Amino acid sequence: MAKLKKLNLCVLISGNGSNLQALIDACTVPEFPAQIGLVISNKASAGGLVRAKKNQIPTLVVDHKAYPTRADFDRVMTKAMEDNSTELICLAGFMRLLSDAFCDNWRDRMINIHPSLLPSFKGLGVQQAAIDAGVGFSGCTVHYVRKEIDTGPIIVQAAVPLKSFDTADSLAARILVEEHKIYPHAVRLIAEGKVTISNERALTADNDRQTQSLINPPIEN
């Protein structure tokens, strides 16, 4: 039997790395079509580095404070990823703005997960923003990265209903559960060649299989 060709990932982190862990767990399944070849953090204290090392994944710290310009910082990261034959970058709580040149260089080869239903509620503080807006649903989005923050073709979304008692923390916790599901799902779709970008939309055949509507508050039977 031919060995499964796996998409080689580099995961960029700045913190605890719970989405990194979700990807690590997915990649331990033999038939999962991707592998993590490198984890890069801009912070040596990032807890996600410990997760990677426990799973024998190579790690690298690129401290942004050690470089005089953003271009220098980008250059070091890009060389490390190219040396590692990175095919797809996964941003997982990487708390640095990326330069236009970096985004262009890795266009359609870099994805991000964001804790809202984009294009609504970009940036930070999105859970409180959703509560303040009184929406029925928030959620999370995996999308390709573009120059403008929290934009780019949307690959996968998960909707999370808001509760009347929600705080930003309680909503964030429920959204995080869904993040851990949809990030590996998005990677799988890409690795299996199921995602096509057309007119800045990410399309898959699976888009047309979802038939159930979500209503909040629900209609009583």
CB 147 within 8 A of CB 101: no
35, HSE (Cβ side, Cα atoms, 13 Å): 13
DSSP code of 100?
H
The SS3 of residue 217 is: coil
What distance in Å separates the CA atoms of residue 182 and residue 45, rounded to the nearest whole number? 27
40, HSE (Cβ side, Cα atoms, 13 Å): 24
Which of 114, 143, 180, 185 is an active site residue? Answer: 114
114 is catalytic: yes
Active-site positions read 114
